[in-house]
Amino acid sequence: MVNCIRKNETMLDIQSANAHQSRALRIFIVGLSAFLWSPAWGQADALPSGATSVADVKFCGQWEMTEAFFNAHPEQRERAERDDAQLELETSTFQNFNRDELIIIPVVFHVIHFNGPENISDDQVHSAITVMNRDFRKLNEDITDVVEAFAGIANDVEIEFRLAQRDPDGNCHIGINRLLSGLTYDGGGEVKDLIQWPRNNYLNIWVVENAAGAAGYSLYPSSVNGNQGAGNDGIVVAHDYTGNIGTSNNYRSRTLTHEAGHWMNLRHTWGNSNNPGDAENCETDDNVADTPLTSGWTSCNLTGETCGSLDNIQNYMEYSYCGRMFSEGQGTRMRAAMYSSVAQRNQLWTPANLENTGVLEESILCEARFSASRQTICAGDSVQFFDNSYHGVTTWSWSFGDGQVGEGETPWNQYMEPGLYDVQLTAGNGADDVSLTKEAFIQVLPSGALSLPFVDDFEAAELSEDWFVMDLGLDGEGWELTSTASVSGSQSMKIQNWSNFVEFNADQLVSSSMDMSDAEEIHIAYKWAYSFKGTSEDDETDDRLKIYASPDCGQTWSLRRMHRGYTDLPSAPPHPFPFTPNGPDEWNSYTLVLPYAQFFTENFRMMFEFESRLGNNIYLDDVNIQVFTASDLLERERLQGIPLTVYPNPSADQAWLEFQTWMVHEEVSVELLDMTGRLVETMHSGQLTPGLQRMAINRRGHAAGTYFIRVQLDGIPSAEMVVFE
């Protein structure tokens, strides 16, 4: 079982500075949590199944996040004590009448993402609901694993969770909201301010990249009673601890089971703390009669006895990662919380609310939606379409805009002619249907759309149709034309990275198609300008400019070169202000050579991708793409030497040198030189026959630093640089 902070398409405009501050706070909390948590692992005799190290395991942030909430709202602590006493009194006198009455809880998921893996699929959300219902209804197949001492009290809690089918205004809804925000990397209490449906109508669950360092967390009903606490009610969960498919897996799948237990007033089995393994826990209780006193576990020792009797290690409220059950006493305690007015839990499952949220209705056909495997392709390529309509769709009728039609949930269509195509879907459930048309949804490029050689110095008033700008971070600061700097002329392409406060933004500039079918070698030359954000080299950041090539019109991409902030990306000294290059001396240049047959196709495309690490601005100019045929290369090799490729570069221990020869060379030497020109090692001496040459460059104890590789073919030299870190 996975639990909750280790102790140790709606758009929101989130201020970058706030996201940056939240990230800093998260780093502090995680560091403090790791420090506080580490002693608990002393009693763990094994890691949970599926984990390879302590770092693979996260636990519950209920205690820490409750304290953070009380510290921010001191008046709420005293109220919570009174409300907790009331709830304990109600629980102690609760008779569990109507024991067989099913309690249904409407649920809404808010997926808070920055266009990364945390933007989990609808299917993964559905799997999370399935796991919760399986566990609460004692339908889990592994219930048979419960040890004999506790098998008799393993409990069907008679509580069920259902995705809402109507929003607070009564409109049909999928029960899943998706919001773009850098707060997904923080996952603290502020994330709940982004969106929250009324807590007396829905259980709110926020899915994030980082749940404040935890697998997930939730607060007790008494902690969030009243208007002040309402905004903090619900569950925050990391995406990779949500459900059992996609970015999560089976052994992390029960986080929501554990957190829903807290949300319904269950404590950890060792009591109201986050200190499993502490011997003093034997003097505290979880206020459930049939769960034995325990000091708490972070491993799955089924014979463990920490307080004089066998521990209920397979309980969902343990940290053992082998949870299989709730006890009868825990079931009664949770049902008592759902009958209570504390935190308005009793309003959630009234007949009126179940009707208003649509959870009692058959699947409601609301809206047609669809997506595609790719939207920009080349003539002759195929696209797969995916239905995302809701709810209860049973029939699909597609029109692909090129005269072809289709049926089914995930059809394919091959586009033979260049152009822009509208796509329409009509989805039905046997009684009603809904339709959606997306205009110019598919763009089909002609093979070899760009003439070669291709040269672009970005001097046009608008970016030409030869390029496509993709902002994967959706931060609004992607590649754009600028007149503030250039190598030649008056314009270049720029990314305003100075004002970006969210790491790992990926902004792409993608070319149209080129016919490389006659090529024997492709050269991509380009120039760029970049500096660190700061006043010295100590302020370095590892921003990255990546160059990709695709042989199949962008269906697959191969990374061919990466310029890193720690190595060769900077072209100018650090700037404490937004960087603008001051003349040609503050630009770098590079020529990428592709001698590989896999790229010699009629649907070749290339891409510049800038990945931010919070550094300074970057500029791109003078892109020049040339094709060399076999005769071109033979003549160049005879007169000028050859291009060399070294990868990975920089390298820790070993890099590879590649170059193509087109004739027999009798006198060949391959040498490694240091920065002074001193010969360090001769790697080859003798004859080379035509073909692709590949040689290992081993560090062999050489000091870290920059070296030169010199290749001489019959007296004609070529050189390339390699960096050993």
202-250 tens-digit pLDDT: 999 999 999 999 999 999 999 999 888 899 999 999 999 999 999 999 9
* Cβ 724 vs Cβ 651: under 8 Å: yes
With cut-offs at 50, 70 and 90, classify the pLDDT of residue 621.
very high
CATH says 10-356 is which class?
Answer: alpha beta
For residue 489, pLDDT over 80 is answered with: yes
C-alpha R_g of the chain: 31
pLDDT at 42 over 70: no
Q: What is the average pLDDT across 38-62? A: 51
Q: How far is CA 676 from CA 236, 297, 673, 680, 706, in A?
A: 57, 60, 8, 10, 10
Residue 664 has pLDDT above 90, yes or no: no
- Classify 624 as helix, strand or coil: strand
* Cα gap 91→690, rounded to integer Å: 84
Query: What is the pLDDT confidence band of residue 270, given thresholds at 50, 70 and 90?
Result: very high
Q: What is the pLDDT of residue 16?
A: 32
Give Cα separations from 99 to 102, 151, 155, 159, 329 (angstroms).
8, 20, 12, 11, 13
For 308, counting Cβ atoms within 10 Å of its Cβ (0-12 exposed, 13-18 middle, 19+ buried), the class is: exposed
Whether the predicted pLDDT of 187 surpasses 80: yes
Choice between 121 and 475, residue whose per-residue pLDDT is larger: 121
Structure tokens given for 453:
């050689």
Q: What is the pLDDT of residue 204?
A: 98
Best-predicted range by mean pLDDT (474-478, 500-504, 530-534): 530-534
CB atoms < 10 A from the CB of 246, how many? 17
Strand order in the sheet with 419-428: 376-378, 433-445, 419-428, 395-399, 405-407
Across 40-54, 168-182, 326-340, 448-462, least confident range = 40-54
Closest to 425 in 3D by CA, of 446, 456, 396, 392: 396
What is the pLDDT confidence band of residue 20, given thresholds at 50, 70 and 90? very low
Phi, psi values for residue 535, rounded to 5°: -120, -10
Residue 354 in tokens: 């179940």
Tens-digit pLDDT profile for residues 320-363: 989 999 999 999 999 999 999 999 999 999 999 999 999 999 88
CATH top-level class of 371-445: mainly beta
Instruction: Tell me the backbone φ, ψ of residue 325, rounded to 5 degrees.
Output: -155, 155
Cα–Cα distance for residue pair 436/296, rounded to 1 Å: 54
- CB-based contacts of 197, cutoff 8 Å, min separation 6: 108, 164, 167, 168, 204
Q: By C-alpha distance, which of 355, 366, 361, 357 is closest to 164? A: 357
Please say whether the beta carbons of 415 and 381 come within 8 A.
Answer: yes
DSSP code per residue over 421-471: EEEEEEEE-SS-EEEEEEEEEEEEEPTT-B-SSEEE---SSS--TTEEEEE
Measured distance CA(448)–CA(553) in Å, rounded: 10
For the cut 90, the answer to whether the pLDDT of residue 674 exceeds it is no
Q: In sequence order, what are the beta bridge partners of 651?
A: 724
Measured distance CA(456)–CA(264) in Å, rounded: 62
Q: Token match 């498919």: residue?
A: 245
For CA atoms 230, 232, 233, 234, give the dihedral sign: positive
Q: How confident is the model at residue 487 (pLDDT cuts 50, 70, 90)?
A: very high
The yes-or-no verdict on residue 617 having pLDDT over 90 is yes
Residue 40 predicted with pLDDT over 50: no
Which one is predicted more confidently, 602 or 100?
602
Cα–Cα distance list, 621 to 212, 528, 605 (Å): 41, 6, 18
> CB atoms < 10 A from the CB of 483, how many?
12
d(CA 625, CA 344): 65
Fold of 447-628: Jelly Rolls (2.60.120)
Looking at the structure, give the CATH architecture of the domain made up of residues 629-725.
Answer: Sandwich (2.60)
> Token pair for residue 402?
């090129």
Q: Which residues contact 175 (CB under 8 A, 6 or more apart)?
A: 107, 108, 109, 163, 164, 165
Residue 571: left if φ>0, alpha if ψ -120 to 50, beta else—which one? alpha
Confidence of residue 10 (pLDDT cuts 50, 70, 90): very low
Q: Taking residues 622-628, report their average pLDDT.
A: 93
3-state secondary structure 366-418: CECCEEECCCEEECCCEEEEEECCECCCCEEEEECCCCCEEECCCCEEECCCC
DSSP SS3 for 17: helix
Q: What is the DSSP string of 54-112?
A: GGG---B-HHHHHHHHHHH-HHHHHHHHHHHHHHHHHHHT----STTPPEEEEEEEEEE
Query: What integer pLDDT is reported at residue 7 of this predicted model?
Result: 29
Split at pLDDT 50, 70, 90, the class of 649 is: confident
pLDDT of residue 420: 96
Mean pLDDT (the chain) is 87
Same fold, 10-356 and 371-445: no
Q: In the prediction, which pLDDT does 49 show?
A: 45
Q: Taking residues 160-188, report their average pLDDT.
A: 95
State both tokens at 97.
């009448």
Q: How confident is the model at residue 614 (pLDDT cuts 50, 70, 90)?
A: confident
- Domains of the chain, by residue range, sit at 10-356, 371-445, 447-628, 629-725
568 close to 546: Cβ distance less than 8 angstroms: no
Token pair 């006895």 is found at 305
Q: Are 492 and 626 a contacting pair, CB within 8 Å?
A: no
Q: Give long-range contacts, CB 8 A cutoff, 24+ apart: 13-16.
A: 14/181, 14/182, 14/183, 14/194, 16/182, 16/475, 16/499, 16/500, 16/501, 16/502
3-class secondary-structure state, position 229: helix
Q: Evaluate if residue 601 carries a pLDDT over 80.
A: yes
Look at residue 59 in the predicted model and tell me its pLDDT: 86
In this predicted structure, the answer to whether residue 26 has a pLDDT above a threshold of 80 is no
Work out the average pLDDT over 246-258. Answer: 94
Residue with tokens 């199949």: 552
Bridging pattern class, strands 521-530 and 588-594:
antiparallel
Predicted local confidence at residue 30, as pLDDT: 34
- Write the CA distances from 377 to 384, 445, 506, 524, 552, integer angstroms: 12, 6, 21, 22, 9
Each residue's pLDDT tens digit, 553-566:
999 999 999 999 99
Fill in the DSSP letter of residue 325: B
How would residue 501 be classed by pLDDT, with cut points 50, 70 and 90? low
Rounded distance between C-alpha atoms, residue 527 and residue 590, angstroms: 7
Q: How far is residue 178's CA from residue 174's CA, in Å, rounded to a whole number? A: 11
Rounded CA gap, 256 and 131, in Å?
Answer: 8
pLDDT tens for residues 328-337? Answer: 999 999 999 9
| Residue in this structure with the two tokens 């949300």, named with its chain if needed | 263
Query: Could you tell me which of 422, 437, 424, 429 has the C-alpha nearest to residue 366?
Result: 429
pLDDT of residue 100: 73
| pLDDT value of position 193 | 95
Q: Hunting for tokens 């002329």 — which residue is that?
A: 489
Per-residue model confidence as pLDDT tens digits over 675-707: 888 898 898 898 888 888 888 988 888 888 888
Give residue for tokens 């070529």: 718
